Structure 1
Amino acid sequence: MALSVSAARLCRLAGRTVCPLSRSESPAASLLARRCYAATSTANGLQFKLDERTAHSSLDLFKKNTGIIYRILGLDPSHVQDNPQRFRDWAVVFGDEKISSGRHYWEVTVKKSQEFRLGVAEAMMSREDCVGTNSSSWVFGFAQRKWFTMTNNKIVPVTLVGKPDRLGILLDYEAGVLSLVDIGKPAVIHTVRANFKGPLCPAFGLWDGELLTHSGLEEPEGLK
């Protein structure tokens, strides 16, 4: 039986995909196309692509697996290759690199989405959960024109005027710090502190439009 409009809206705000249905720049482009298998800082920074094996059936990968598009209908889950790493109930995808140490920086173009989550999650996080709803993931989210941080299902508002087209994510594993970066200044907008214990992956949730990731970047000068 179809969900009521209000019920469907509540599910979307919670981050759950209601109806699984078709899945279908510059000098930095060459860096994005290269895959780095060592999750350590280099002169060009951490490089990763999105891991199709983890992608929910409503998420379509594009631009050589550096971008994701949310499909309202998406593929029927029964038509998606069965994989224990795949998210079945939530529109989430992980990056394909594991981070166990060091300081890492990447950026995400968000101008074509109004509802998403960006951050990191433990590589072994349960695929039954959504990023931000457990103690194994730490994200910055945007929904209803408001920013927030979320971990263990606890939402904390983030004061940010407007919505930049592109943002940075800075992770310092040993310091237990995850920061959202205004790349225009550049400056840290907000920081989440945590006790990271296991390998982490870049993590993304998307319920509207599209996101494009940019890795292999050096950290902007002046960030602390």
Structure 2
Amino acid sequence: MEESKCILRKLSTELDRLVPLKGLVMLSEVRNVESPQNESQALDLVLLWADELRSLQNRKCATIQIPVKLKIQPCHEATQNLDKKQQLIDSKIILSDWIRKLKPKESVNVREEQKAVLQDLCKRWKKGQLVDILPIMDFIIRIILWENKSEGNILKEWFKTEEVFHKTGGLCIPVPVWNCITRASAEVILDPNTANPDLKLSKDGCAVRTKTHEECKQNPWDVNQRRHCKFDGWTCVQAIEGYTTGRHYWEVNVQGKCEWRIGVVKESAPRHGYFNMNTTAGYWTLRLQLGSLLALTDPVTKLNQKTPSKIGVYLDLEEGCISFYDSVKRKHIYTFKTHFGKSEKIYPVFGTVETDRALRIM
């Protein structure tokens, strides 16, 4: 047990040296392992961490990857027939090697935005709100060291971890990751030829709302409108430009609105009439309905969180993901995972039934 305490203290010291933050000791609670309550957890924590790193190394990863889900659970049941003394020796070697590969020669100059993420993490952990502490710590330390990493590598690592961030109750996305996401900013303009005739588009093609009763009377539907509009059931409209490759990001202001749909649609998906506008039909969208935020999967996934005032949509066609973010608070909302073929385009799509407040693309 004394050996395991020493290992934890060493890890804690290395972390504080790596990230020198005044008044913030990231593993202060781990250092305080003298109490009987913590003694029973010290060895388990060392063995668990080392076992996770070992399993990742066995998968022949070039570098230590981030586990998708890691919970601190008692390990004595799984290892009751093994020699724990030898396990501890092996674990010490693995963790020491991990520290050696991870740490730079000098202390890292942590920026203010990175300090905020670490302080938020520390605060939540002390309140007992974090279960998956190890993958998040691993990811944040790597983010601090990733000054010269390519955007592609940073984003790949992020998509392995974003669900863990979401489950913590919404840690802020680290600034280097957020910069990579928003740097893929796309100019999205609405296509009037695809708009439901009940919709009114702004002159610049960046906003849409439903027509009032008076406006509908002034411009009633006719046969020509029905023939040429794509969305003649749901009050939706898609963008002029579709994508087959690359990364694309756009934001939509939804502040004060009670109902909307935002996401993407594939070129071959149905547009006419009323149908289940979900992933099975070729739509990957979020919807706000009756105050509830929904991911339109099949069946629907209810998202138990507050409605953002501004939605960020990130489309990565190579990685096969559509992610939604609260772009004001810089927090992850939901990600659809799929596979996009390059034979058809993927279009941004928008929908609303409100006449007083428009959806506006930023």
1: CA distance, partners of 2:324 / 2:270: 24
Q: Cα gap change, 1:44/1:188 in structure 2, threshold over 3 Å: closer, same or farther? A: closer
2:269 aligned residue (105, 120, 125): 125
Number of the residue aligned with 2:205: 65
**2:236, 2:352 within 8 Å by CA — same for their partners in 1?**
yes
Hey, what does 2:292 align to over in structure 1? Answer: 146
Larger radius of gyration: 2
In structure 2, the partner of 1:29 is none
Distance in 1 (alpha carbons) for counterparts of 2:325 and 2:241: 21
Q: Check the 8 A contact 1:131/1:139 in 2, yes or no.
A: no
* Partner residue, 1:46: 186
Pairwise CA RMSD: 2.4
Of 121, 134, 155 in structure 1, the residue corresponding to residue 300 of structure 2 is 155
- Higher helix share goes to which structure? 2
1:131–1:138 Cα contact (<8 Å) kept: no
The answer (yes or no) to whether the contact 1:53–1:83 under 8 Å persists in 2 is no
Is the partner of 2:296 in helix, strand or coil?
strand
Q: Which runs of 5+ in 1 are unaligned?
A: 1-40, 215-224
Question: C-alpha displacement at 1:101, in angstroms?
Answer: 1.0
User: Could you report, residue by residue, the CA deviation over 1:115-156 in whole angstroms, capped at 9, with x for unpaired residues?
Assistant: 11100001232222557244211101101111011145x311
DSSP-derived class of the 2:249 partner = strand
Give the aligned residue type for 2:303: V
Q: Distance in 2 between matches of 1:189 and 1:57?
A: 31
**Among residues 267, 272, 282, which one is paired with 1:136 in the alignment?**
282
Does the 8 Å CA contact 1:67/1:212 hold for their aligned counterparts?
A: yes
Cα shift at 1:44: 6.8
Percent identity over the alignment is 26
Kindly state the Cα deviation for residue 77 of structure 1 after the two structures are TM-superposed. Answer: 2.2
* Equivalence for 2:242: 98
Cα drift, residue 48 of structure 1: 2.1
Match of 1:28 in 2: none
TM-score, normalising length from structure 1? 0.69
Match of residue 12 from structure 1: none
Tell me what 1:107 maps to. 251
Equivalence for 2:89: none
Query: Displacement, 1:184?
Result: 2.2
How far is the alpha carbon of 1:185 from its aligned partner?
3.2
Separation of aligned partners in 1, 2:308 and 2:243: 27
Q: Quick one: structure 1 residues 95 and 131, their matched pair in 2 at CA, closer, same or farther if it must change by over 3 Å?
A: farther
Gap change, CA 1:165 and 1:43, over 3 Å in 2: closer
Q: Which residue of 2 aligns with 1:177?
A: 321
| Structure 2: distance between partners of 1:130 and 1:142 | 17
Separation (CA, whole Å) in 2 of partners of 1:44 and 1:202: 14
Equivalents in 2 of 1:168, 1:130: separation in Å? 26
Q: In the alignment, which residue of structure 2 is the partner of 1:196?
A: 340
Matched residue, 1:210 = 358
For 1:42 and 1:112, the matched residues in 2 are separated by: 24
Query: Does the CA contact (< 8 Å) of 2:263 and 2:350 recur in 1?
Result: yes
Quote the Cα distance in structure 2 between the aligned partners of 1:137 and 1:178.
11
The alpha-carbon deviation at position 167 of structure 1 amounts to 1.4
Instruction: Supply the distance in 2 between the matched residues of 1:170 and 1:189 (Cα, whole angstroms).
Output: 11
Greater relative contact order structure (CA < 8 Å, 6+ sep)? 1
Rounded to whole Å, the distance in 2 between the matches of 1:92 and 1:155 is 19
For residue 255 of structure 2, give the secondary structure of its aligned residue in structure 1. Answer: coil
2:314 pairs with 1:166: no
2:231 aligned to which of 87, 104, 107: 87
Q: In the alignment, is the contact (CA less than 8 A) between 1:131 and 1:203 conserved in 2? A: no
SS at match of 1:77: coil
Task: Find the aligned partners of 2:182 and 2:259 in 1 and give their Cα distance.
Answer: 32
Q: Deviations over 1:140-198 (max 9, x none)?
A: 1101111011145x31111222x222111111111111111111231222111122223
Report how many aligned residue pairs link the two structures: 172
Q: Relative to total residues, which structure has the larger strand share, 1 or 2?
A: 1
